[in-house]
Amino acid sequence: MEDCIFCKIIDGKIPSAKVYEDDNVVSFLDIMPANKGHCLVVPKKHYETLLDIPDGDLANLIKATKKITKALSLSIGNGSFNIIMNNGKIAGQLVSHAHIHIIPRFKGDRLRLTWSHKKYIDQEMKSVQEKIKKFV
């Protein structure tokens, strides 16, 4: 993908602070971190969202995510972290090359990853449940 910033990082065309690389996956520090140590884990092949990633590559991606999270926890972190994946523009995906965020958490870091709670009315919850189940 010519205009993809992560493809350029993977191809070595632009620099990044890499922390891990194997045949399928690369991980580097997010340039605008939510906390220091915030890493991105990226499949080397250009897929846009989670749903585009074949199961084999997804397994490699999540295994690498666990490995890097462990390293973060043993180095600058403490075992508390958020794993986040934004999929699609409306969900806040700015770079359309699928990636997983690992954000180490520190006591008092004042990072807000909360949302307001909505409510189901009447039979809505049941109806939503049934709709989803039909496609699983």
Enumerate the active-site residues.
99
Residues that bind Zn ion (CB under 5 A): 1, 4, 6-7, 46, 97
H/E segment holding residue 63: helix 55-74
Task: Looking at residues 91 to 110 of the shown chain, list those that interact with ligand AMP (rule: CB under 6 A).
Answer: 92-95
Which listed option, Zn ion, ligand AMP, none, makes contact with residue 97 (CB within 5 to 8 Å by class)?
Answer: Zn ion
DSSP letter at 118?
P
> Binding of ligand AMP at residue 52 (CB under 6 A)?
no
Smallest gap, in angstroms, from Cβ of residue 31 to ligand AMP? 4
d(CA 28, CA 9): 9
d(CA 103, CA 113): 11
Which listed option, Zn ion, ligand AMP, none, makes contact with residue 86 (CB within 5 to 8 Å by class)?
Answer: ligand AMP
Task: Looking at residues 8 to 37 of the shown chain, list those that interact with ligand AMP (rule: CB under 6 A).
Answer: 16, 28, 30-32
The one-letter amino acid at 63: K
Q: What is the CA radius of gyration of the chain?
A: 17
